[in-house]
Amino acid sequence: MTDDEQRGFGTRCVHAGQASDPETGSRAPPLYQTTSYTFTDADRAADLYALEAEGDIYSRISNPTVATLERRLADLEGGVGTLCTASGMAALDAATFLLCEAGDNVVSAASIYGGTHTYLSHTAARRGIEARFVDTLDPGAYDEAIDEHTAYVHCETIGNPSLVTPDLGAVADVAHDHGVPLFVDNTFATPALCRPLEHGADLVWESTTKWLHGSGTTIGGALIDGGSFPWGEHPERYPEVGGDNPAFHGLNFAEEFGDRAFTAAALRCVGHASGARNPRSPDGTSLGERPRGRPVSRGPRRGLVGRLPRTGDPRDSRHRPRVLGGWVRRNDRVRAGGGLRGRQAPL
Ligand SMILES: Cc1ncc(COP(=O)(O)O)c(C=O)c1O
């Protein structure tokens, strides 16, 4: 059992994925505001570029400050790795870019965030990827919609804004019967309330902009890899992860990186396309930063990461569904079945 496994969830929100800095003893994660890195010698550089050694080359691909948040989120969600991105939508785009090509389709729950619906039905569609929306709560509907060109099955843990909550285990079983991964947006629940990887999901994405950061200062996203999907068994469907990748001299990420294949490929193949995260932004997220210059007592509350969630605090994400449910019941502007009148998708 590792140190992190022995620690409680609240402690891991603050400490997972980070030790004090060996050079300075700094307790908080240092901010590595650098684009690039030096190498001890040419052989070390050659090994890094050939992916034969682990280390930093260029901050578009990896950065130690960003890596602290990546390890922390992987720990909290129970995954093997994370790609942090410039926004939540960038995380969705990164996964779609890596797993789909023209002629593929995505089977998604219908009750999802409006921006995701628009991305799948218009943005991805312009690249030849078809979106098939199905009844969120009916596993049979996912089953009927999946075919041999389905790249992934998608849903939200708790739908925004409908609050419709699918049976993740049942949807995962259907996806896996077809040899397809389940990809879950866990923004609304956060790993404090639900860890979709424990219910059969293979990949999770989050908008860290919301409760994971919590201060309303920082747009960000994360793509968390459960390490469970056998990409290597489907080289034709997922050539960039499970096949010989020509962009890396024929390297096969599934063979080279085992259960971390998706993260390894995502960092190198789509980090550039999806908007690599600025080191200053994960630094704030890991620390549970408040906006600068505001008195602590008046600043917005910090988010889940970087602070200890306190039981009994109604603003904690663990209590949010109860609070939200009460508000929805009391508010006569809310129709039964979800959605605010006159607004399609509130933030
Ligand atoms: C459930 C959900 N997923 C994803 C997103 C997109 O995240 P971002 O705004 O960080 O790109 C949002 C944003 O509102 C959201 O509510």
pLDDT reported for residue 316: 54
pLDDT band at 330 (very low <50, low <70, confident <90, very high): confident
Checking if the pLDDT of 62 tops 50, the result is yes
60 catalytically annotated: yes
| 186 within ligand 1 shell (Cβ under 6 A) | no
Residues of the chain with pLDDT > 70, as a percent, come to: 80
Q: How far apart are CA 66 and CA 227, in angstroms?
A: 20
Q: Which of 4, 56, 58, 60 is catalytic?
A: 60
Q: Concatenated DSSP letters for 272-297?
A: TTT-BPPTHHHHHHHHTPPPTTS-TT
49 catalytically annotated: no
pLDDT band at 293 (very low <50, low <70, confident <90, very high): very low
Taking residues 50-57, report their average pLDDT.
90
Contact between residue 229 and residue 200 where contact means Cβ atoms under 8 Å apart: no
Backbone angles phi, psi at 332, to 5 degrees: -80, 0
Amino acid sitting at position 283: D
Say which DSSP state 29 is in.
P
pLDDT reported for residue 82: 96
pLDDT reported for residue 91: 95
Q: How far apart are CA 187 and CA 88, in angstroms?
A: 9
Checking if the pLDDT of 282 tops 80, the result is no
CB-based contacts of 266: which residues, under 8 Å, 6+ apart?
Answer: 83, 94, 95, 98, 223, 225
Tens-place pLDDT, residues 213-245: 888 888 999 999 999 999 999 999 999 999 999
185 catalytically annotated: yes
User: In this structure, which residue's CA is closest to atom 9 in ligand 1?
Assistant: 88
Residue among 40, 75, 11 nearest 227 (CA): 75
Output the CA 113–ligand 1 centroid distance in Å.
Answer: 7
333 catalytically annotated: no
Output the CA 1–ligand 1 centroid distance in Å.
Answer: 34
| 219 within ligand 1 shell (Cβ under 6 A) | yes
Taking residues 249-269, report their average pLDDT.
94
208 alpha carbon, distance to own chain's centre: 8
Helix axes of 64-77 and 280-287: crossing angle, nearest 10 degrees: 40
pLDDT reported for residue 346: 38
Output the CA 24–ligand 1 centroid distance in Å.
Answer: 37
Residue 208 Cα: closest atom of ligand 1: 10
Checking if the pLDDT of 313 tops 80, the result is no
Torsion of CA 306, 277, 80, 123, to 10 degrees: 120
Output the CA 110–ligand 1 centroid distance in Å.
Answer: 16
| 115 within ligand 1 shell (Cβ under 6 A) | yes
Taking residues 179-204, report their average pLDDT.
97
CATH topology of domain 63-347: Aspartate Aminotransferase; domain 2 (3.40.640)
For the chain, give every domain's residue range.
63-347
CA atoms within 13 A on the CB side of 150: 25
Place of tokens 């096949």: 243
pLDDT reported for residue 289: 60
| 159 within ligand 1 shell (Cβ under 6 A) | no
Say which DSSP state 340 is in.
B
Taking residues 179-206, report their average pLDDT.
97
pLDDT reported for residue 228: 96
Backbone Cα Rg of the chain: 20
Mutational test site, ligand 1, from 136, 183, 210, max ligand atoms within 8 Å of CB: 210
- For 140, the enclosing helix (H) or strand (E) is helix 139-145
Amino acid sitting at position 25: G
Q: Which two tokens stand for residue 344?
A: 């399609």
Output the CA 88–ligand 1 centroid distance in Å.
Answer: 5
Residues of the chain with pLDDT > 90, as a percent, come to: 65
